[in-house]
Amino acid sequence: MSKDNRIIVFDTTLRDGEQSPGCTMNIKEKLEIAHQLARLGVDVIEAGFPISSQGDFEAVKLIATEVQGPTICGLARATEKDIVRCGEAVAPAKKGRIHTFIATSQIHLEKKLRMSKEQVIENASKAVALAKTFTQDVEFSCEDAGRTDWDYMVEVITAAIDAGATTINVPDTVGYCTPWQFGDCIAYLRSKVRNADKAIFSVHCHNDLGMAVANSLSAIRSGARQVECTINGIGERAGNASLEEIVMNLQVRKDFYEFTTNIKASEIYRTSRLVSKTTGMKVQRNKAIVGANAFAHEAGIHQDGVLKERTTYEIMCAEDVGWSGEQMVLGKHSGRHAFKTRLVQLGYDTLTDDQVNKAFTRFKDLCDKKKDIFDEDLYAIVEEEVQKDDETYTLDYVGFSTGTETVPTATVKLRIGGDIVMDASVGDGPVDAAFKAVQRITNIEAALHEYSLEAVTGGRDALGQVTVVLEEGGRTVRARAASTDVLVASVKAYLNAVNKLIALHNAPPQEVVPKRGM
């Protein structure tokens, strides 16, 4: 396969993915994901939108300083202020990119920008030229390209390339295009833009009509050589094109597409897991490639076929994407060494000794309550220990009194520093009562936007994993916790979320710019 057949994978999980409602990540979480994206083999990491907040600026700068391998990119509107800030943020990277954009569709020009077509072209050129003073690697996007007149886009793109853009991105910002139309659009642009050979054409598709992956693949067939995508397809509204789906389409059907990527497919499952737990965005069970049912066979006729010959009903193996399935991995008699070895195999190779020790203690407790321990249990245990760094309060005790004839009551004791604080509350149910007790102790009056409970594995002794989303003063956080006792899991998840909110209080105030739009 020639070099021209390699597709550049541009991951925007940390930027567009973070724009999913409730998906905000802190700087430490972003860095952890960025390291995993590098391990996965993405070519470009869009690490954030530096002008949008101090936190985003710092996250992009930190990733640019610490993450080796991929190009580190920051987003900037086509304004001087944005570009200068973005240039500063990506400066430490060995390979830094500025991605600047302006809307080009008629509706955006008239209603949002209130600019003429000529003004937009001038803005685009100036923005690219300014970005070039910071780095040679400049990407330009025509926002809402999917609804932009093609001939006008030819003019904008030609000007952007003349000004020095090395990548031209064509986003279907509102997920409006059909695969045929989008493919034709890319082919048209490449044939009409006179200097098209001086830039790589890229696509960035949203999933409003469920077409993001199909549109991206169609664009690749028409000459796009960069795809912008996110892990698990997270992103604005219905999300972005899913990285794992694009990559596995290219890999499984290379007979048809004849393209390759640098992605190490065996890292896909681990990356999906990490993004899901960090953002709290669950992966739907039947999601292609990474959903829990993606490799499960229910119908007897399928099971029979797979047992006789796997390929009768499977076009790829779970192991190809790094999923080992639900097998018993460790048990009561497993020692710390076996435990740590398994964690490293699961990708937890940067845990401190203290984190491993705490996770091991929890593992041993779990072995007393649950016969078989699966990888999913280990993920749940470790994820909780890792997220505990920002802890102000820890749970010391929780007790419940509840039943059909009883007013549900919860008593909660929390540890803060060396002190123990205790309170009790009644509620609509035991969970509500415990949440109220935590609220009274911590004085954090947050609105509960989401509460969900699911079993981590099968079986009556399964760990119950609770996810909560809390909102306080415009800031939304998600947190999870797991326990064989779902009431305890609920209180722990709530407390983890409260601790996250407290960590945000302690963060320096931020200038907040809308995540997109001008």
Count of Cβ atoms closer than 10 Å to residue 115 Cβ: 17
Task: Specify the residue, 208 or 377, whose C-beta has the smaller distance to Zn ion.
Answer: 208
Residue 297, binding choice from Zn ion, ligand KIV, none, Cβ under 5 to 8 Å by partner class: none
| Those residues with Cβ within 8 angstroms of residue 164's Cβ, 6 or more apart along the chain or in another chain | 128, 129, 131, 132, 136, 138
Shortest Cβ distance from residue 46 to Zn ion (Å)? 10
Angle between helices 54-66 and 80-90 (to 10 degrees): 40
Task: Specify the residue, 74 or 171, whose C-beta has the smaller distance to ligand KIV.
Answer: 171
Task: Specify the residue, 121 or 174, whose C-beta has the smaller distance to Zn ion.
Answer: 174
Interface residue list for ligand KIV (CB under 6 A): 16, 75, 101, 141, 143, 169, 171, 173, 204, 206, 516
Contact, 153 vs 189, CB < 8 A? yes
Query: Residue for token digits 């409003």?
Result: 208
Shortest Cβ distance from residue 156 to ligand KIV (Å)? 14
Residue 267, binding choice from Zn ion, ligand KIV, none, Cβ under 5 to 8 Å by partner class: none
Is 16 an interacting residue with respect to Zn ion (CB under 5 A)? Answer: yes
| Spatial separation of the C-alpha atoms in residues 370 and 328, rounded to whole Å | 11
Q: Cα separations (Å) of 39 from 16, 64, 271?
A: 20, 15, 9
* Tokens, residue 283: 């992966």
Amino acid at 148: T
Query: Residue for token digits 């998840």?
Result: 493
Angle between helices 150-162 and 179-192 (to 10 degrees): 50
Task: Specify the residue, 224 or 441, whose C-beta has the smaller distance to ligand KIV.
Answer: 224
Task: Specify the residue, 143 or 383, whose C-beta has the smaller distance to ligand KIV.
Answer: 143
Of 202, 250, 210, 17, the C-alpha closest to 101 is 202
| Spatial separation of the C-alpha atoms in residues 518 and 504, rounded to whole Å | 26
Is 18 an interacting residue with respect to Zn ion (CB under 5 A)? Answer: no
Amino acid at 234: I
Residue 143, binding choice from ligand KIV, Zn ion, none, Cβ under 5 to 8 Å by partner class: ligand KIV
Four-CA torsion 65, 68, 70, 71, nearest 10 degrees: 30
Task: Specify the residue, 16 or 82, whose C-beta has the smaller distance to Zn ion.
Answer: 16
Residue 141, binding choice from ligand KIV, Zn ion, none, Cβ under 5 to 8 Å by partner class: ligand KIV
Of 454, 437, 422, the C-alpha closest to 494 is 437
Shortest Cβ distance from residue 255 to Zn ion (Å)? 31
Query: Residue for token digits 């076929």?
Result: 305
Shortest Cβ distance from residue 262 to ligand KIV (Å)? 22
**Number of residues assigned to the chain:** 518
Count of Cβ atoms closer than 10 Å to residue 154 Cβ: 17
What's the CA angle centered on 212, arms 208 and 213, to 5 degrees?
Answer: 150
Shortest Cβ distance from residue 518 to ligand KIV (Å)? 11
Shortest Cβ distance from residue 165 to Zn ion (Å)? 18
Task: Specify the residue, 78 or 359, whose C-beta has the smaller distance to ligand KIV.
Answer: 78
Cα Dmax for the chain? 78
Q: Cα separations (Å) of 483 from 267, 372, 396, 469, 486?
A: 27, 15, 15, 18, 6
Residue 101, binding choice from Zn ion, ligand KIV, none, Cβ under 5 to 8 Å by partner class: ligand KIV
Task: Specify the residue, 142 or 493, whose C-beta has the smaller distance to Zn ion.
Answer: 142
Is 143 an interacting residue with respect to Zn ion (CB under 5 A)? Answer: no
Which stretch, 14-22, 43-51, 120-128, 461-469, contacts Zn ion (CB under 5 A)?
14-22
Residue 385, binding choice from ligand KIV, Zn ion, none, Cβ under 5 to 8 Å by partner class: none
How does DSSP classify residue 7? P
Shortest Cβ distance from residue 114 to ligand KIV (Å)? 19
How many residues of this chain bind Zn ion (CB under 5 A)? 1
Cβ-count burial 257-284 (b if 16+ within 10 Å, e if not): bebbbebebebbbbbbbbbbbbbbbbbe
Residue 29, binding choice from ligand KIV, Zn ion, none, Cβ under 5 to 8 Å by partner class: none
Angle between helices 27-40 and 54-66 (to 10 degrees): 40
Shortest Cβ distance from residue 243 to ligand KIV (Å)? 15
Phi-psi region of 440 (alpha: psi -120 to 50; beta: other; left: phi over 0): alpha
Residue 383, binding choice from ligand KIV, Zn ion, none, Cβ under 5 to 8 Å by partner class: none
Q: Going by DSSP bridges, is the β-strand pair 226-229/200-205 parallel, antiparallel, or unpaired? A: parallel
Task: Specify the residue, 35 or 204, whose C-beta has the smaller distance to ligand KIV.
Answer: 204
Residue 280, binding choice from Zn ion, ligand KIV, none, Cβ under 5 to 8 Å by partner class: none
State which of positions 474-493 bind Zn ion (CB under 5 A): none
Task: Specify the residue, 16 or 18, whose C-beta has the smaller distance to Zn ion.
Answer: 16
Task: Specify the residue, 96 or 171, whose C-beta has the smaller distance to ligand KIV.
Answer: 171
Shortest Cβ distance from residue 478 to ligand KIV (Å)? 22
Residues of this chain that bind Zn ion (CB under 5 A): 16
